Amino acid sequence: MVADRFLSVLILGCAASLSAAAPAPSAESALPPFSVQDMVRMERISDVAVAPDGKRVVYTERSTDMEANKGRTTLWLLDTSKRGAIPLRLTDGGPNSSSAEWSKDGKFIYFLSNRSGSTQVWRLSSSGTGARGDTPVADSTPVTNLPLDVGSFHVSPRSDRILVSIDVFLDCPDLDCTKKRLDAMANSTATGRTYTQLFIRHWDSWSNVRRSQVFTMALSGDGVAQGAPLNITGGIGDVPGKPFGGREDYAFSADGAQVAFSVRAQSNEAWSTNFDIYQVASDASTQPKNLTADNPAWDGQPAFSPDGRQLAYLAMDRAGFESDRFHLVLLNLQSGVKRALTQNWDRSITSFTWSPDGKTLFATADHLGQRPLWAIDAASGRVSAITGAGEVESFGVSASKVFYTASNLKQPADLYSVGLTGGKPAQLTRLNQATMEQRKFGEFQQFNFPGWNGENVFGYLVKPADFKPDRKYPVAFLIHGGPQGSFGNAWSWRWNPQAFAGAGYAVVMIDFHGSTGYGQAFTDSISGDWGGKPLQDLQLGLSAALNANTWLDPDNVCALGASYGGFMINWIAGQWPDRFKCLVSHDGIFDNRSMYYSTEELWFPEREFSGAEYQNPAAYAKFNPIDHVSKWKTPTLVIHGQQDYRVPDSQGISVFTALQRRGIPSELLYFPNENHWVLKPADSVQWYDTVLKWLNRWTRT
């Protein structure tokens, strides 16, 4: 019922916005279209932190320094109790500042900054005033002065203790030992390194055998960390989990006396998703106690209830499956009884937090091509959406409102607020107003069609920025990665449909079988069938879009994809070779068999193909692009990053080699300093320039 009501409102809302988006010609038609140059210069918002008074909000804003070819982050404060309030800059734009956290009394804001030359925790007063763009609102003072970088932190609710995560050698007795060993390694003329277990490298970096651990330190009355840091996570594994874990992986109890953390044991981590929740005294006076040893699958994001009686956390049910459904579990800390709160809700939660009164948990979860914010009743588990179309990215909760950042396919994220039960949201920031008002963007619409086996499948269509209904437009057919992912109603800083729309292309995206947000069975359906149902969905979805929109040029369509999407491009080259004018394969798998032995997260292929390659070679060969190279004929641009260890660069080089040897028009764009994504501003511009040049070459002749 929740899904049906949400979908009805969504479709009506989309229809209304699309009908309203066809006005008489205006000054907007004279505006230049949005471009990748505009995109890389836009401001980005994240890390919403709400003050205890529920009125002030601190957030992180990222700007791009094109000359330095990197982003810079600063902290901003908005007092929402003042009508028309202007955001105040709290930190300057030289050093990076992020990850704000309020003290319990609301007088201080703690944050991470590299202003001292290393990343440490700092503190500033929240009572300063100033105007947007001025010098820092208040002087900040260091809280920690450690010999190693701090990765993340939490301040105790009583402001008497701080937790910091730091990468250390587990056999070192203190931080100085780790620092001295790192210095010795850096200065050694011998560069070889011996490994005794996986991971030897992970995502985009080689292991130096350090582990992320959480340390506890007392805070003095003036907010300075005192004494030697004590390890409370016991060397079990990385806390936060690598490579993408953050401070959501550990938490203080309401009274500050206890800490809960999520960790995966290091003994078999390359083929295990078994994270467990541990509890330990915040002063390191006890040993960590495993609270979820009974579950062989993933348990994560522990969060104590405001009254301290319960511990909420996310849990999966199936071991080894990173895309299983995350549901909420409540653990009674007195009785030890666990209650699966959202077991009957067929959506996978990405993040959550408690309301201040402990009666509600607020969460994000993909749903029908959107990622709304949901309110979950802590007693009954009843779920209701309190935001509509678009994607909620980060959020914080006060006693009367939820503050959140949200984006959609036409607009990057801004800060909003909404009541605890929903209602009309209020937009609180307009970070990119000048760009939004001075550029043309493509209108978008969601559509659905009968996909594999006649089942309902959704997709999105983005019109070219210069759209005129009597023209024909070439099509960029974008295929998402994951494969358990989604090209939904969200702004992307990497694969941005508006950058294609601004270049005169229509964009079609299909959430094929395996995508998230349509029920766990739909997500599960891709495992073991990478080239089956998803390919049929893509074929049927493209056909549906072309048939329903006569302004799409069926003779000038190029398909593009990255990661699993890159695999699908390589698969399409041999299975659908006559459909596309060109292909773009970014970080795509070429040979599932060799990929197994060179990738790092082995749990992924072992789940997708029902075992290791040597145990089930037939499954790895069933949908394997390397075995169909003889059918390839479509001009293909290959892109790969040297630091991509998820899909090693040998896969992309192999694709290019096959194309060249077959005499098929092809190019290789190789980034020696990029990983599975393209993150540096200049590289992002080069990526789009190269891709659009390739598309133009084959669709505009």
Query: What number is the average pLDDT over the span 357-381?
Result: 98
CB 197 within 8 A of CB 207: no
CB 332 within 8 A of CB 340: no
Cα dihedral: 57, 62, 63, 67 (round 10):
150
pLDDT tens-place string over residues 569-613: 999 999 999 999 999 999 999 999 999 999 999 999 999 999 999
pLDDT tens-place string over residues 45-56: 999 999 999 999
Domains of the chain: 42-142 (2.120.10.30), 440-699 (3.40.50.1820)
pLDDT at residue 336 above 60? yes
pLDDT at residue 24 above 50? no
DSSP H helical segments within 549-680, as ranges? 564-575, 592-598, 603-608, 617-622, 649-662
Query: CA 140, CA 121: separation in Å to the nearest integer?
Result: 10
CB 618 within 8 A of CB 669: no
List all residues 6 or more positions away from 615 whose beta carbon is below 8 Å from its beta carbon: none
Rg of the chain in Å (alpha carbons): 25
Instruction: Report the SS3 class of residue 447.
Output: strand
CB 73 within 8 A of CB 89: no
Nearest to 443 by CA among 419, 473, 417, 466: 466
CB 488 within 8 A of CB 391: yes
Nearest to 515 by CA among 535, 486, 490: 486
Q: What is residue 440's predicted lDDT score, i.e. its pLDDT?
A: 98
Nearest to 155 by CA among 113, 102, 105, 112: 102
pLDDT tens-place string over residues 515-553: 999 999 999 999 999 999 999 999 999 999 999 999 999
Q: Residue 84 — very low, low, confident or very high, per pLDDT cuts 50/70/90? A: confident
What is the percent of the chain with per-residue pLDDT over 90, rounded to a whole number?
92
Query: CA 323, CA 523: separation in Å to the nearest integer?
Result: 8
List all residues 6 or more positions away from 692 whose beta carbon is below 8 Å from its beta carbon: 500, 503
Instruction: Report the SS3 class of residue 688.
Output: helix
pLDDT tens-place string over residues 236-263: 999 999 999 999 999 999 999 999 999 9
List all residues 6 or more positions away from 95 whose beta carbon is below 8 Å from its beta carbon: 113, 114, 115
Query: What number is the average pLDDT over the span 57-79?
Result: 97
Q: Phi and psi dihedrals of 100, rounded to 5? A: -65, 145
Q: Comparing 41 with 10, which gets the higher pLDDT?
A: 41
**Structure tokens belonging to residue 489:** 């109603």
Please give the C-alpha separations between residue 31 and each of 140, 445, 497, in angstroms, as whole numbers.
43, 22, 18
pLDDT tens-place string over residues 113-157: 999 999 999 999 998 544 444 444 457 999 999 999 999 999 999
- If one counts every other C-beta atom within 10 angstroms of the C-beta of residue 465, the result is 23
Interior/surface letters 203-219, b for 16+ CB within 10 angstroms, e for the rest: bbeebeebbbbbbbbeb
**Structure tokens belonging to residue 382:** 């009843």
Place of tokens 């078994």: 274
Query: CA 513, CA 508: separation in Å to the nearest integer?
Result: 16
Interior/surface letters 385-414, b for 16+ CB within 10 angstroms, e for the rest: bbbbbbbbbbbbbbeebbbbbbbbbbebbb
Q: Comparing 26 with 190, which gets the higher pLDDT?
A: 190
Query: CA 100, CA 90: separation in Å to the nearest integer?
Result: 11
What does the DSSP assignment read for 105-125? TSSEEEEEE-TTSS-EEEEEE
Q: Locate the DSSP E strands across 346-471.
A: 349-354, 360-365, 373-377, 383-385, 391-397, 401-408, 411-419, 422-427, 444-450, 456-462
Q: What's the pTM? A: 0.95
pLDDT tens-place string over residues 412-465: 999 999 999 999 999 999 999 999 999 999 999 999 999 999 999 999 999 999
CB 670 within 8 A of CB 640: yes
Query: What number is the average pLDDT over the span 36-46?
Result: 98
Nearest to 515 by CA among 623, 624, 367: 367
pLDDT at residue 2 above 60? no
CB 303 within 8 A of CB 312: yes
Query: CA 33, CA 440: separation in Å to the nearest integer?
Result: 4
Query: What number is the average pLDDT over the span 466-482?
Result: 97
Q: What is the mean pLDDT of the chain?
A: 94
Instruction: Report the SS3 class of residue 224.
Output: coil
Nearest to 416 by CA among 443, 389, 383, 377: 389
Q: Residue 391 — very low, low, confident or very high, per pLDDT cuts 50/70/90? A: very high
For residue 353, list its beta bridge partners. Answer: 362
Please tell me the number of Cα atoms within 13 Å of 17 on its side-chain side.
Answer: 14
Q: Residue 28 — very low, low, confident or very high, per pLDDT cuts 50/70/90? A: low
Amino acid at 606: E
Query: CA 112, CA 228: separation in Å to the nearest integer?
Result: 20
**Structure tokens belonging to residue 212:** 């992320």
List all residues 6 or more positions away from 78 whose beta carbon is below 8 Å from its beta carbon: 56, 57, 58, 59, 85, 87, 88, 415, 428, 429
Query: CA 581, CA 696: separation in Å to the nearest integer?
Result: 10
Query: CA 674, CA 645: separation in Å to the nearest integer?
Result: 11
Q: Which of 122-131, 199-208, 314-323, 458-467 has the lowest mean pLDDT?
A: 122-131
Q: What is residue 138's predicted lDDT score, i.e. its pLDDT?
A: 55
